[in-house]
Amino acid sequence: MEMVNIKINGIPLSVPNGLTILEAARYAGVEIPTLCYLKEINEIGACRMCMVEVKNARSLVAACVFPVNEGMEIFTNTDRVRNARKTTLQLILSNHNRKCLSCVRSTNCELQALCREYGVDDEKKFDGAQPDYAYDASMAHMVRDNSKCILCRRCVAACDNQAISVIGANARGFDTCITSPFERDIAEYSCISCGQCIVSCPTGALREKDNTPEVLKALNDPEKFVVVQTAPAVRAALGEEFGLPIGTDVEGKMAAALRRLGFDKVFDTNFSADLTIMEESQELIERITNGGTLPMITSCSPGWIKYCEFYYPDQLDHLSTCKSPQQMFGATIKTWYAQKMGIDPAKIYSVSVMPCTAKKFEVGRDDQDAAGMPDVDATITTRELARLIKGASINFNLLPDEEFDNPLGEGTGAAVIFGATGGVMEAALRTAVEKITGKELDDVEFTAVRGMEGVKEAAYTVGDLTVKVAVASGTKNAKILMDKVKAGTCDYQFIEIMACPGGCINGGGQPIVPASVRNFDNFREKRAAVLYNSDKNNAVRKSHENTAVKRVYDEFFGEPGSHKAHEILHTSYVKRGLYNNK
């Protein structure tokens, strides 16, 4: 590797050639502030917060895009640099909604943090005319408030990175704003509700729709029996909202907090993840043996399902008909569990805690009402749960570890890895291989489908069959696989697709990681490690060995793929076209 010698603030360094000043500065332990830069997503040097001095250069340069070269001398903290950054912040604030105390991003806003660092308060140095700010609440999952937008274009880049591109800069100069084409509501376009724009935004311009008021109302209604389920990825990230390091498993504290919020039963979506594998593996086996449509593609990610309905409506037969674990859980609660406990399903209020903003769209889909009412009544994100806990003055970090309630609190190691890309595939293979061969697996780990790569492929010998599989995360990578499927140029039997890069651990409803961390720290792998460690330490690592799932089949569904299972646990899809977002 070719190295170059530079100086940063007088400190001699030898760094790899090709680095930007921003990247090289970290070798000296120096953080250069940014507001627009997101590594490999948005590298446009637009916000001007990363300006630094370079010896013999006529003007300040943008560190995020300016490469280092031999002998370069860089200064990141001179009066000139600090004054330039402070002026930039003052200009941003001149037409920014400064109601910070009531903003959902207060204390976790990159603009707010920089203003504090550079001594910029609510001053009005550059106050003047205010644009006519756009406000868009047309989607089930998200609100756009352009009064808090700083035109960094991270959201635009994130949407482009998902190969969706339904938002961008409209108008010019002072009137520039980020909206959908022709400044229409985003609901008129093919947004898939993934929320990657939200977790990329440095301010409160984008946020998930808040469903906590209706959850609180249900919790305070003595006529309601309120149950909650929590997705696997939530336990891998919730602790970040309470100052714990990325990669901290807070499953036990999460269960304890939910009880203190007043939920009547605290269950684990891992149960229905195992249930999903029972149905999905059976469906895969039936398709392989009976000449069904192949490859079969997973249906757990509602953002991916929406993407397929929009962009590949002629390929819907490839989708597994299984509901997602969230919806299977809600359906089971309002059928088998209600019958078992003697509770009127109309009095059950079913809440899910999800890492995913697309779940807010999913709960309102057609054919998600097995008991004649919505399978799930309300879904909240990991961030919303954190706000509920804080609002109830619960000291999360001091809580004891508690278990989920049974029987629907039981989950296997196969279920918990659903939250990472490749996890659904691996869980399904553990069960499908044993079903096909009738033999117990010596090694349950299918490591070839693990990892954060956008597309992964593998082939496995299963009895007399060779099963070829593929995994994609992020809809840009889904497009790669779907183009092959549509063209008939692939020979996969099974494909897993997650809408969000890295899977649910990087869902649009997860704690927001500031760019200073996102750009240099692989937070996705740290969150995924929580799930794989949980799997490794679980005494039961195959979905078909979940005793609670066995009980539900024995008492209610009969067997995987039965008529009753299809009525309650399976669903249908819609050919949307690019302009049908309802």
Q: pLDDT tens digits for the chain (582 residues)?
A: 899 999 999 999 999 999 999 999 999 999 999 999 999 999 999 999 999 999 998 899 999 999 999 999 999 999 999 999 999 999 999 999 999 999 999 999 999 999 999 999 866 788 888 888 889 999 999 999 999 999 999 999 999 999 999 999 999 998 999 999 999 999 999 999 999 999 999 999 999 999 999 999 999 999 999 999 999 999 999 999 999 999 999 999 999 999 999 999 999 999 999 999 999 999 999 999 999 999 999 999 999 999 999 999 999 999 999 999 999 999 999 999 999 999 999 999 999 999 999 999 999 999 999 999 999 999 999 999 999 999 999 999 999 999 999 999 999 999 999 999 999 999 999 999 999 899 999 899 999 999 999 999 999 988 888 899 999 999 999 999 999 999 999 999 999 999 999 999 999 999 999 999 999 999 999 999 999 999 999 999 999 999 999 999 999 999 999 999 999 999 999 999 765 555
Closest CA to 568 of 415, 345, 380: 345
Q: What backbone torsions phi and psi does residue 396 show, to the nearest 5 degrees? A: -55, -45
Q: Give the pLDDT of residue 579.
A: 56
Distance CA 175, CA 296 (A): 47
Buried b (16+ CB within 10 A) or exposed e, 422-456: bbbbbbbbbbbbbbbeeeeeeebbbebbbbbebeb
In sequence order, the β-bridge partners of residue 319 are 297
Which is it for the CA torsion 470, 474, 477, 478, positive or negative?
A: positive
Where is 515: in which H helix or E strand?
helix 515-518
pTM score, whole prediction: 0.96
In sequence order, the β-bridge partners of residue 135 are 145
Q: Give the pLDDT of residue 130.
A: 85
> Can you read off the two tokens belonging to residue 360?
């807010």
CA angle 101, 34, 106 (to 5 degrees): 10
Domains (ranges, CATH) in the chain? Answer: 3-77 (3.10.20.740), 110-208 (3.30.70.20), 213-569 (3.40.50.1780)
Q: Give the pLDDT of residue 578.
A: 60
295 prior amide bond cis, ω within 30 = yes
Where is 381: in which H helix or E strand?
strand 378-381
CB neighbourhood size of 222 (10 A)? 5
Q: Give the pLDDT of residue 222.
A: 97
Beta-carbon contacts of 307 under 8 Å, excluding residues fewer than 6 positions away, are: 164, 192, 475, 478, 499
> Can you read off the two tokens belonging to residue 117?
């660092």
Q: How many residues does this entry show for the chain? A: 582
Distance CA 566, CA 111 (A): 50
Q: Are 214 and 224 in contact (CB under 8 A)?
A: no
> Can you read off the two tokens belonging to residue 289?
């043996």
- Beta strands per DSSP E along 398-481: 455-462, 465-473
Q: Give the pLDDT of residue 267.
A: 98
State the Cα torsion 5-6-12-15 to the nearest 10°. -60
Beta-carbon contacts of 395 under 8 Å, excluding residues fewer than 6 positions away, are: none
Q: What backbone torsions phi and psi does residue 283 show, to the nearest 5 degrees? A: -65, -40
Distance CA 355, CA 197 (A): 14
